[in-house]
Structure formats: structure tokens, C-alpha cells
Amino acid sequence: MSGKFLDKEIIKVVKNEGNQQRFIVVKLKFLVILILIIAVILILSSCTSNETNQANKTLNGNTNSADDIVNKSTNSNLPNENDARDMVQGATTTTQNIVVKVIDGDTIKLDNGQVIRYIGIDTPETVDPRKPIQCFGQEAAKKNEELVLNKKVILEKDISETDRYDRLLRYVYADGLFVNLELVKQGYAYATSYPPDVKYQADFAEAQKYARENNLGLWSACKEDTAVNEKQPIIEEETPIQTGNCECSSNTYNCTDFKTHAEAQTLFECCGGIKNDIHRLDRDGDGLACESLP
């Protein structure tokens, strides 16, 4: 009896050991499969990441290429937005104000009442009573509005403080753009120099060359006017005001005494413009007398 019992116990032990071994084998297989699954996931993630990085590099490369093409097509020698910021930072005299009125393509009025004449450029006339509205003048004024109206602008002085109409002479920056230069570069203004204010004249001349060669703005729309302008030297002097027998010692006239804006403007300038508006013909101080007259 004892021998049979012992045999049974031995069989049980053997069975239990066999079950344990099978359990261990199954467990090992499960771990191996789990490790393989994790390895596959890591490999796939790595491949996806590499593909994404490669796609980004390709996209960035294409974007840079496109930017390079744009920069080349707009002449890499011209100052860009970063150059404009550098110009402002390097300026010796700068102030900031908000533009409340655009008088024409190269003249603005600030919130403090000052009138600013852009240095180094000249846009076609729209408000000069002595001249008809010139080709592309209204487009230039509209572009100037787009660039500066109701915006804070930074003003940089060159040498002169004011012009003969007592307007401040300044380089103007808005939204990171050098406005004087931008108007020339896009074909809304001519590069015109009035010494001694010639700090950026080489840049203006380069911008005008680019606009002319690419038939931008007035260089395309105003063939006859631009042909005349090309014959003129880039350095010009202001024509002195024609003075006559003007009553400028006391407040004698008002706007109702004139039939046209041109007549009022003639007297206004004869008496000295903004500096001596004895008749108070320029109520808003923008250098234009009796603007309500035809």
C-alpha cells in the first residue's frame, strides 16, 4: 500500500511541475509577443517622425525658395522691413505720432496739428491750386492713406526742420515700413532730392530704377509724364514763391473774398503761408487756403 501511495504522490508532483513549466513557457511567449509589439510601435513612430521632419524640411526649403524668388524679383539691394527698423534705430532724431489726415501722396497731418512733408520723394499733384490734378496723383494719395492713415508713425529728421510752407520735413515709418521708400518702390512717387536732406537718396534712386524697369504704378500709367521726369536731374531746388503787392499787415480778407481756391492760395503764399497766415485762410494748418472753394 505504501508503495502505491508513493507512486501516486510522485505522479502528482510530476504533473504539477509540468503545469508550472507550461505556465512559464506561456508567460515567456506572451512577454516576447508584447516586446515585439512595443518594438514595432516604436519603429513605426520613429518612421513617422522622420517623415514629418523630412516633410517640414522640404516645406521649409520650398518656402525659402519662394521667398528667395520674391526677394530677387523685388531687387535684393533695396531696403526691406528689417532695414527700415535698422534705419529707425540708427536715426538720431525720431518722434511718434498718429496720422489723422492724408493731404496727398507725400504730405500728412498729425494728431498734434503738425503737417509733415515726406523727404526725398515727390508724388503727382492733386491739391496744388496752380496745377491740374496730375496722372496717378489720386492713386498715390490713396496708397499713402493705406500706409499711414490712423496709424502711429515714427518720424526721422534729416538736416532741415521745415520747408518754405513751414511743413516739417521727415522720413516716415509705419508698421515696419519706410513709407517714403515704399511709395517710390511701388511706383507711386518719384525720387527727388532737395539738399541738404539726402541721407537716403541712393536708396530712393535705386527704388525708382526698380519701379521704372518693372513698369510699376505711374511708370506704366503715365508714360508722357514719366518721360519728362526722366529727363529732369534727380537733384532739384525749390522754386521761390512769386510775391506781388499783397496786403499782409492786418487781417483784411476772408475766404468769401475769393472766387476760387487758387486765388486764396496765391495770397496765402504771398503773405508767407503758415508762418504768417494773417488772414486766417488756412484754418486747419495744412498749408492749403480756403479748401472749400472750387
Residues designated catalytic: 117, 125, 167
Whether the ω angle into residue 196 lies within 30 degrees of 0, i.e. cis, is yes
In three-state secondary structure terms, 173 is: strand
Exposed (0-12), middle (13-18) or buried (19+): which is 263, by Cβ within 10 Å?
middle
Sort residue 219 into left (φ over 0), alpha (ψ -120 to 50) or beta.
Answer: alpha
Tell me which H or E stretch contains 172: strand 168-174
Q: Give yes or no for a contact between 140 and 183, defined as CB atoms under 8 angstroms apart.
A: yes
